[in-house]
A = this chain, B = another copy of it.
Amino acid sequence: MRIIEIKKDVLSKNDEIAARVRANFKLRGIFAMNLISSPGSGKTTLLVKTIHDLKSKIPIAVIEGDQQTDNDAKRIAATGVPVIQINTLSSCHLDAAMVETALEKLAFPGPGLLFIENVGNLVCPASFDLGENMKVALVSVTEGEDKPMKYPKAFRVSSAMVITKTDLLPHLEFDMASLLDLAGKINPSLHVFHLSAKTGDGLDDWYDYLLSLARRG
C-alpha cells in the first residue's frame, strides 16, 4: 500500500512538470513526439533516416534517453541537428523533469519537430507523460505479432504504431494481420505505418504524417 501511494506521488509530481513542459512547447511552436519501443526496434535508425530526409523542410531536434552510453546521441549528432543525451542509470524510463532539464541545454528555440527517444522498454515509458504532443509506439517485425496484447498500455496511450524492419518479412514467420487485429482491439484509433528504414519502403507516408503534425502544431 505504501508503495502505491509513493507511486501516485511520483506520477502526480511528474504530471505537474509535464504540464509546464507542454506549455513551453506550445509557446515555442514545438511539436514533440515521444517514441516508445523495445530495445533494438530501430528507433534511432528511423530517426537518423528521418532527419536526413526532412531536415531541409523543417527544424528538427532530438532528446535521447538510454540507461547508459551516448551512442545514440552521437549517431543523431552526425546528422547535424541539436541533440541531448539523458542517461537514466537505474531508471527504466524518461520522466518530465529529465526532459525539462534537457530542454534548457538543447539549442532548439523552436518552432519545429522534437523527437524524444525513450529508453527501450514497453512497460515503464507508457506511464509517464513527458509533456509531449503524442506518443508513438514502434514494433519491429522480428519481435512477433503479439506485442500489443502483452504490453497493451504502450499501444493504448500511443497515437500511432510504426511497424519497422519490414524488409525482413520474407525471412520471418510473421502474421501481420494478427498484429493489426490485436493493435486495433487495444486502440482502434491508432495510425499505422509499415516501413523499412533500410530500403526506404513506407517512409513517404511517415514523412507526410510528421510534416502535417508539425505544421498543424
Q: What residues of B have a CB within 8 angstroms of the CB of A68 in the complex?
A: 149-152
Stretch in contact with the other chain, from A16-24, A53-61, A116-124, A200-208: A116-124
Partner of A71, one of B6, B143, B146: B146
Partner of A150, one of B38, B66, B124: B66
Q: Mark A129-167, 1 if CB is under 8 A from B, else 0.
A: 000000000001011101101111100000000000101
> Is A50's beta carbon under 8 Å from chain B?
no
> Is A171's beta carbon under 8 Å from chain B?
yes
Complex CA gap A144/B172 in Å reads: 17
Partner of A151, one of B67, B91, B165, B172: B67
Complex CA gap A132/B90 in Å reads: 21
Complex CA gap A147/B2 in Å reads: 34
> Is A40's beta carbon under 8 Å from chain B?
yes
Contact across chains for A90 and B150 when beta carbons are under 8 A apart: no
The count of residues in chain A whose C-beta lies closer than 8 Å to any C-beta of chain B is: 38
Q: Closest CB-CB distance, A36 to chain B, in whole Å?
A: 11
Given contacts A6-B3, A6-B6, contact A142 B121 (CB under 8 A): no
Q: Mark A161-199, 1 if CB is under 8 A from B, else 0.
A: 000010110011000000000000000000000000000
Contact across chains for A38 and B168 when beta carbons are under 8 A apart: no
Given contacts A40-B38, A120-B122, A123-B121, contact A69 B146 (CB under 8 A): yes
> Is A10's beta carbon under 8 Å from chain B?
yes
Which chain A residues (94-130) contact chain B, with CB distance < 8 Å?
A: 119-124, 127
Contact across chains for A40 and B6 when beta carbons are under 8 A apart: no
> Is A80's beta carbon under 8 Å from chain B?
no
Partner of A120, one of B119, B140, B150: B150
> Is A48's beta carbon under 8 Å from chain B?
no
Q: Closest CB-CB distance, A196 to chain B, in whole Å?
A: 12
Q: What residues of B have a CB within 8 angstroms of the CB of A40 in the complex?
A: 38, 140, 142-144, 147
Please provide the 7 A-B residue pairs with the shortest distance between their CB atoms, ordered closest to farther. Answer: A40-B143, A92-B123, A142-B142, A38-B39, A38-B38, A69-B149, A40-B144
